[in-house]
Structure formats: structure tokens, C-alpha cells
Amino acid sequence: MNVLVTGGAGFIGSHLVDALLARGDAVRVLDNFSTGTRTNLAHCAAQIELVEGDVRDLATVERAAQGCHAVLHEAAIVSVAESFMRPEETRDVNAGGAANVLHAAREAGARRVVIASSCAVYGDARALPLGESAPPAPLSPYAETKLAAEDQCRAACAAKGLDTVALRYFNVFGPRQDPSSEYSGVIARFMQAAIAGRGCTVYGDGRQSRDFVFVSDVVRANLLALDAAALGGVAINVGTGTRTSLLHIIHRLGNLVGKEIAAAFAAARVGDIRHSQADIARARKLLGYEPAVAFGDGLAVTLEWYRQQPKARGRG
Ligand code: UD1
């Protein structure tokens, strides 16, 4: 099958590229390298087709989608905190980009589009775990744009032959997650600090928790979504069904590096949700998805990967 991966040079996208190539699919990547890197694709550059461009540009997306049977749409501004500083750009990239991808996929005669959504659409949960029928209550421009993309995704199913699904990722972590920005994912940030022998900055009291899911589980959910029978634009949680607090991560990381890690506490971030934990019954039922990587194992593999990176990655 010919598959387009938008954001294919990014953290999750590049792992999807690897998995698709491993199962014999032909892969095209659309990326503007704003946050994705050539390094993430260096090992497979000869096996993929690369379209360098922006999801905000419809003509580019149409060119990238030509001849594709399916699209995995990962390109996005992924930081909740950053979305408050750049709300318009976040809307253009996340909601506008999804609209372009759905339009181009339909024009190209693709059969399936899988879009990356987020558990951020739930906002602050009153009851955990979060099932997909919980009412959306976005707390940030980021979450609003992901919800808008989901709506478009559902609407696009009315188009003849195109089937879509939105995967609501919980907190994904693993090798290749960029640690270098202040707004990078928390595990990447904490790992970088631990390796450098520095303390971690904790926004809030550190008791907030997330459902941290290892990237290979998210990849498997995407492959299952690609191959599933018609999904009709439904949203599906992709997590583990468990949750871990930031203080617990710091403790586990300390055990892994063999040294206690100090935490410096700072004010909680605006728009931060307190707890999240996925109910994954729908993913089990519709996709046959089951998370396979225990949190501690994922943490150890990820730490090893950061340790092997050249010093340049350890900025920030
Ligand atoms: C993350 C993802 C988002 C995804 C969402 C799903 C990133 C950058 N964001 O958002 O794309 O849709 O999960 O839940 O991957 N924190 C610290 N210290 C740090 C960094 C973060 O205390 O150095 C705190 C944050 O304030 C927050 C928690 O850790 O309370 C998690 O933050 P972060 O990793 O940015 O994830 P989300 O905001 O949940």
C-alpha cells in the first residue's frame, strides 16, 4: 500500500515510517522540518520519498497525497503551552492542516485517513478513566484545534470511499522525542536533565498525572487503524489505561541513573490538565489494540537512547 505520513520526520511520524517500511509499504513523507529532523529519517532516507513542505499549503499537500491509498496525519504544533503564545499559527497548522490533508486525500482517492488527535480534547476530567463519550472541554488553543480536526475528520467520511478515524493519543514518550525546547514532552525534559546531572523543573506540585504510552504502542494502534474495517470518523483513545505522576517519574528515573534527582518547583502552567488516564475499551474492541510496553521498560529504553545521543542533543 502507498502511505503518506505527514510529520514523518517528527518523533511519532518517523517511528510510523519505520513500521510501514518494515511491513513492505511504500512510504512518502511530508514534513517542513520545523520540529522534525532529517536525522530521524537518515537511516531510511533511501527507502522513502520525501516532499519537503507545509501542511498549510494545499497544493503541496495535494502533490504529496497523489497516488496514496492511505494517510497518517501527524504534522502538528504539539505543545499545549506553545499554543497559547501562537494561537493563530496553531489553528492554521493543526485545524487548517487537517482540512488540507482530508481534502487532498479525498481528491487522491485514498481509502483511509488516520489523524493524530489528543486526550487534551477532554480538558480536566471529572471521572477517570476517560472514555470517548466524555464531553470534550478543551482548555487550550491546542486542544481546540485538535477537536476541530476531529470534527472535520468525521465530516469527511461523508465523501464517497474515504474513511477516517481520529486517534486520541495520551502522553506519548520514547526515543526521538525532542528534549531541546522548554515545551518538549515532560519525559524527554526530565531525561535530558537526569543525564546532564541537573535537577528537573516541575510545574505545579508534581502530583499531576498522565497516561504515558510508549511510542511503539502508538505505532501499533496506527497500523491497526490503517487496516481496520470502516471506522466512520470515530475517535479512539490510545493510551495504556494507567497513569503515573511526575514525582513518580522522577523517582523511577533516579533509580535508573542510580542517583536521586532533585526537583525544582515552579508555578503550574496555564491550561495544564491535572490528571488523565485512558479508557481503552474502544481501542480494544474496534482495533484489537492492547498496549504491550510496561512504563518502566519504556522508560529504560528511552533513557538508553538519550544516553547514546551526541552532546548536541543535550542543549536546553
Ligand atoms: C502532551 C503533548 C501533547 C499531547 C498531550 C496528550 C508534548 C509536548 N505535548 O501534553 O501533544 O496531545 O500530551 O495528553 O508532547 N511539565 C513539567 N516540567 C517540564 C515539562 C512539563 O513539570 O519540564 C509538566 C507540565 O506542566 C504538565 C506535565 O508535565 O503538567 C505534562 O506536560 P507535557 O509533557 O508538556 O504534556 P501535556 O501538556 O500533557
pLDDT digits 0-9 by tens, 240-282 = 999 999 999 999 999 999 999 999 999 999 888 899 999 999 9
Residue 315 has a pLDDT of: 39
Kindly give the distance from the C-alpha atom of residue 172 to the centroid of ligand 1, in angstroms, as a whole number. Answer: 10
Strands 244-245 and 209-210: antiparallel
Number of domains, the chain: 2
Q: Check which CATH number belongs to the domain holding 206 and give it.
A: 3.90.25.10
- Residues 11 and 56 occupy one common structural domain: yes
- Residues 140 and 182 occupy one common structural domain: no
Indicate which residue's Cα is closest to atom 29 of ligand 1: 186
- Residues 78 and 104 occupy one common structural domain: yes
Q: How far apart are alpha carbons 65 and 201 in whole angstroms?
A: 41
Q: How far apart are alpha carbons 59 and 86 in whole angstroms?
A: 24
Indicate which residue's Cα is closest to atom 30 of ligand 1: 272
- Residues 59 and 105 occupy one common structural domain: yes
Mutate to test the pocket of ligand 1, among 144, 198, 201, 210 (most ligand atoms within 8 A of CB): 210
Whether residue 160 has pLDDT greater than 50: yes
Whether residue 314 has pLDDT greater than 50: no
Pairwise pLDDT comparison (182 vs 16), residue with the higher score: 16
Kindly give the distance from the C-alpha atom of residue 291 to the centroid of ligand 1, in angstroms, as a whole number. Answer: 20
- Residues 116 and 191 occupy one common structural domain: no
Q: Would you state the torsion angle of the CA atoms of residues 218, 95, 121, 141, taken in this order, to the nearest 10 degrees?
A: 120
- Residues 225 and 303 occupy one common structural domain: no
Residue 286 falls inside a structural domain: no
Give the residue numbers spanning the domain of 192.
175-210+242-276+294-312
- Ligand 1: which atom is nearest the Cα of residue 272? 30
User: What lines the ligand 1 site, CB under 6 Å?
Assistant: 78-80, 118-120, 169-171, 183-186, 189, 201-204, 208, 210, 246, 269, 272, 276
- Residues 90 and 217 occupy one common structural domain: yes
Residue 72 falls inside a structural domain: yes
Indicate which residue's Cα is closest to atom 28 of ligand 1: 186
Kindly give the distance from the C-alpha atom of residue 6 to the centroid of ligand 1, in angstroms, as a whole number. Answer: 22
- The amino acid that residue 155 corresponds to is A
What pTM was computed for the model? 0.96
Q: How far apart are alpha carbons 170 and 116 in whole angstroms?
A: 10
Residue 217 falls inside a structural domain: yes
Residue 285 falls inside a structural domain: no
- Residues 223 and 127 occupy one common structural domain: yes
Residue 283 falls inside a structural domain: no
Residue 140 falls inside a structural domain: yes
Residue 121 has a pLDDT of: 96
pLDDT digits 0-9 by tens, 86-135 = 999 999 999 999 999 999 999 999 999 999 999 999 998 889 999 999 99
- Residues 165 and 246 occupy one common structural domain: no
Residue 281 falls inside a structural domain: no
Residue 287 falls inside a structural domain: no
pLDDT digits 0-9 by tens, 68-94 = 999 999 999 999 999 999 999 999 999
Indicate which residue's Cα is closest to atom 20 of ligand 1: 186
- Residues 138 and 269 occupy one common structural domain: no
Mutate to test the pocket of ligand 1, among 122, 186, 201, 243 (most ligand atoms within 8 A of CB): 186
Residue 310 has a pLDDT of: 82
User: In this structure, what are the phi and psi dihedrals at residue 96, rounded to the nearest 5 degrees?
Assistant: -60, -40
- Residues 149 and 32 occupy one common structural domain: yes
Q: Check which CATH number belongs to the domain holding 50 and give it.
A: 3.40.50.720
- Ligand 1: which atom is nearest the Cα of residue 200? 23
- Ligand 1: which atom is nearest the Cα of residue 202? 22
The C-alpha cell at 172 is 506519548
Residue in 91, 83, 101, 84 with CA at minimum distance from that of residue 147: 91
Q: How far apart are alpha carbons 41 and 47 in whole angstroms?
A: 10
Indicate which residue's Cα is closest to atom 12 of ligand 1: 118
- Residues 44 and 62 occupy one common structural domain: yes
> What percent of the chain lies above the pLDDT cut of 90?
93
